[in-house]
A and B are shown apart, each in its own frame.
Chain A
């Protein structure tokens, strides 16, 4: 066997395999995310506050369908995507600890909405560069999926997604009290 011929062929084959592996996740990403019963609380251009519709993230855009209308925001014009959990983490620390102990759930101030829904906030720029802020509320557990998909489609965020926990959170080691 001619080794001089075999090496480039093998190299091309490996390169093709790597290319296919790289393309696979993006083809999955193109499937998009659809969240029915999403409420556009405020801020999305061309949509009245508190409109309920379907939020769709696909083909590089965030779309909001309501009735026969649809408003699209290009994902690459979104400079920040923040879920309510991100806000809690970002503020967290001292304030978060304080509100844990505050009476009758006064920590709710830190959220605009009740905790039984997910909240997603986006900051995006229109064609003339103007900043818009749009707030969506959606069924619980959906905001993180939308955020992941938006980031895959080209949106940016100031608070990266936390790596998913693979198992139960490790218990904090208890300090053994010194025996007296």
Chain B
């Protein structure tokens, strides 16, 4: 192949890469949401049942991580009367869509087997009821730690989604 052909090919590839990155940057910009306050609701478990302690651990960890993220001036809990006055309130609701049963015992023994994971379909809903953003987020505990760690991992990932999207 001639040298000029190589140059042409390199130019086309570079152009493609540039337009691709520009598009993805635009997409990222497009999904950026703005809100000064968020209200967190406990996850529901319509199809996949989870125990109360798991539900509450998810709820409390998510509130804690959202407060830590500093993305919102107010992080309201379900039922908080002050949330009614927040103009640009976003509600975070989740529904458990899947889980993989793990075993802390197996994790302790093998450190590779016995992974626990919980997947929750999360929706960020504005005051008019329109879903602004939705993601499936999975919390896992791979190696060491009890099942509580999966709820913490989930909350960390929710905070990461918030960091990227708000």
Contact = CB atoms under 8 A, between A and B. Distances in A.
B26 interface: no
A121 B53 contact: yes
B68 to A, nearest CB: 14
A134 to B, nearest CB: 7
Nearest to B149: A112
A125 interface: yes
Contact of B56 (A110, A123, A128): A123
Contacts, number: 108
Given A41-B148, A42-B57, A108-B147, A128 B104 contact: no
Interface of A: 41-43, 80, 82, 84, 86-88, 90-91, 95, 99, 102, 104-114, 119, 121, 123, 125-126, 128-135
Given A119-B53, A130-B80, A109 B147 contact: yes
Interface in B28-68: 42, 49-57, 59-61
Given A119-B53, A121-B53, A111 B81 contact: no
Given A84-B51, A109-B147, A131-B78, A104 B56 contact: no
A82 B114 CA distance: 27
B20 interface: no
A130 B75 CA distance: 11
A113 B53 CA distance: 9
Contacts of A110: 50-51
Interface residues of B, number: 33
A53 B42 CA distance: 27
Given A86-B52, A95-B49, A112-B51, A133 B147 contact: no
A99 B146 CA distance: 18
A3 to B, nearest CB: 60
A110 B151 CA distance: 13
Interface of B: 42, 49-57, 59-61, 76-82, 99, 101-106, 114, 116, 146-148, 151
A91 B77 contact: no
A131 B102 contact: no
16 contacts: A42-B60, A42-B61, A80-B52, A87-B53, A90-B49, A91-B49, A106-B114, A108-B105, A109-B116, A112-B57, A113-B147, A114-B146, A121-B52, A123-B52, A133-B42, A133-B59
Contacts of A130: 76-80
A54 B146 CA distance: 24
Given A80-B52, A82-B52, A111-B51, A128 B82 contact: yes
Contact of A104 (B50, B76, B105, B151): B105
Contact of A106 (B42, B55, B56, B101): B101
